Chains A and B, each alone.
Chain A
Amino acid sequence: MSAVRDWLLDDSPASRLQASLGRSWRSFSALMRNPLAVAGALIILALIVMAVFAPWIAPYSAIGQDLANRLAPPSALHWMGTDELGRDIFSRVVFGSRITLMIVTMVAVISAPIGLLVGAISGYFGGWTDRVLMGLTDIFLSMPKLILALAFVAALGPGIENAIIAIAITAWPVYARIARAETITFRDSEFIAAVQLQGASSARVILRHVLPLCASSTIIRVTLDMAGIILTAAGLGFLGLGAQPPLPEWGAMISSGRNFILDQWWVATMPGFAIIAVSLGFCFLGDGLRDVLDPKQRDGR
């Protein structure tokens, strides 16, 4: 164990692999020293485990109805009670984690690269390119997220895929702004000038030298935004524009539980807890990542 650690922390790595693994290890161990980040990481890990092993964890089917057992309170048989169709809420929450995880991953995978690329291009070239791209970004930024997502879903039709597209479209402008700001700080630096002097094309400079430097602040921001994405998805689900029944999406579950909120509180509350826990997890992890990855924050201490 300690041999592996020494190998990772070697000041004079002998190969490319050792150098990059060593750096990752340093970031990872710094992250693990941050209690909040560890808490966040554990919650996210639990979410992933829950999503992967849902069929084994959930005691019942997510959609199997048991009309004789409607709106049963939490008990040893049904840990979180049952809903208006007699479905086990715990099982639905467990299966719902798959939907939540898919939404956040898809949104991140779609919106982060778009934002990064638009921001880096805008910041690197400046001038007209910058003005046009940032104008576009500003238009998207100026509209409230949920309303814009609502409009898209209304136009494309309700459904989980369209909800993901709608959220992704509203999420990228923030990343573009961040990437642009980062790019501008080192656009005129000597290490970028040196690569230009070596004859590298603009595409190469942006992809290989500019983007890696914007990546960490974007990763931080995406992680912090996850909570917002989950809430937006839940909001769309709540309004009936996201996941459609009988999919166990947490927002839609709250929505259907709201009819009985006074007498059968658990129907709406349980998925609510799940949303809060996962949102908090992403926030904690994002804060921890910021402490580890963002040198500007670190210097401020």
Chain B
Amino acid sequence: MNAIELTRLDIAYGPARVVHDVSLAVAEGESFALVGESGSGKSTILKAIAGLAPDWTGTISVLGNPRAHRPERDFARTCQMVFQDPYGSLHPRKTVDDCLAEPLAVHGLKGRDERVKAALAAVGLDRRFRFRYPHQLSGGQRQRVAIARALMLEPRILLLDEPTSALDVSVQAEILNLLKKLRREQGLTYLLVTHNLPVVSFLCDRLAVMRHGRIVEVAHVEALKTGRLADPYSRELYAASGGALQPA
């Protein structure tokens, strides 16, 4: 069974159609990347899967279940999302503890204390951070909290929207290592959106290159590592990111 399957997906955002006729299948346990520049529609696809961009036609199915056009309670336990901006994705008036306990409260799960402690340990945050407010945390620490929050409901799929692009290089390395470790330990499926090709090389198995709302190429990560992408636009992107092109 595929973790995520999109068929003939068109997405509109306001009056404009931003994604055209996208079909894609991500296998369970796979780490798949959507790459492209701003305005390519890559983030919009994530939002549509999550239910945050409700204006779409076609089908989206997650672990075999068709998705509705809005966030759902049951869906929350299979799929969660990590956002780009660690400064905007945490509620400014809530402590780390509140933030991590909220999904438990929503789903009526017990054992708040142990689960919050376990989640903090899993993302490598010391217990001292448990009752801090977001403004008392650094960017990297916030992103760890956001990842911990996404994992509270033990989902099988994580949607990652540029999870490291707002972070410093050294912090990015920490978060990338963490994401890799979590995937190995919990058998997660990742759908990662990024403009950073080296990040894809480190974290993903396959990638789709997007431009103007369409997929121009789906490739294995080996093609990226060896500089053998086929589509002219993918190759342009590859060169601009500092890669040395090889004949396709």
Contact = CB atoms under 8 A, between A and B. Distances in A.
Interface of A: 11-16, 18-20, 23, 189-191, 193-200, 204, 208-209, 212-213
A67 B73 CA distance: 74
A6 to B, nearest CB: 15
Interface stretch (B27-35, B76-84, B185-193, B235-243): B76-84
A200 B102 contact: yes
A199 B146 contact: no
Given A196-B52, A196-B71, A199-B74, A191 B103 contact: no
B97 to A, nearest CB: 6
Contacts of B52: 193, 196-197
Determine the main DSSP class of A at the interface with B: helix
A189 B93 CA distance: 14
6 contacts: A19-B97, A197-B71, A197-B76, A197-B81, A199-B74, A213-B93
B187 to A, nearest CB: 21
For chain B, give the interface size range. Answer: 35 or more
Interface in B68-103: 71-77, 80-81, 83-85, 88-93, 95, 97-98, 102-103
Contact of B88 (A14, A19, A191): A191
B107 A23 contact: no
Contact of B95 (A11, A19, A198): A19
- 8 cross-chain pairs, A with B, having the tightest CB-CB distances, nearest first: A199-B76, A199-B73, A12-B128, A190-B89, A19-B131, A13-B131, A190-B83, A198-B103
B72 A19 contact: no
B7 to A, nearest CB: 23
Contact of A11 (B91, B102, B132): B132
Given A194-B89, A198-B152, 19 more contacts: A11-B132, A12-B131, A13-B95, A14-B131, A16-B95, A19-B97, A19-B133, A23-B133, A191-B91, A193-B81, A194-B83, A195-B102, A197-B51, A197-B52, A198-B103, A198-B107, A198-B149, A208-B102, A212-B93
B132 A12 contact: yes
B106 interface: yes
Interface string B88-130: 1111110101100011001100000000000000000000110
B127 to A, nearest CB: 9
B161 to A, nearest CB: 9
Contacts of A208: 102
Nearest to A14: B131
Nearest to B80: A197
A15 B83 contact: no
B226 interface: no
B97 A194 contact: no
B106 A204 contact: yes
Nearest to A295: B92
A19 B132 contact: yes
Interface string B168-193: 00000000000000000000000000
B89 A191 contact: yes
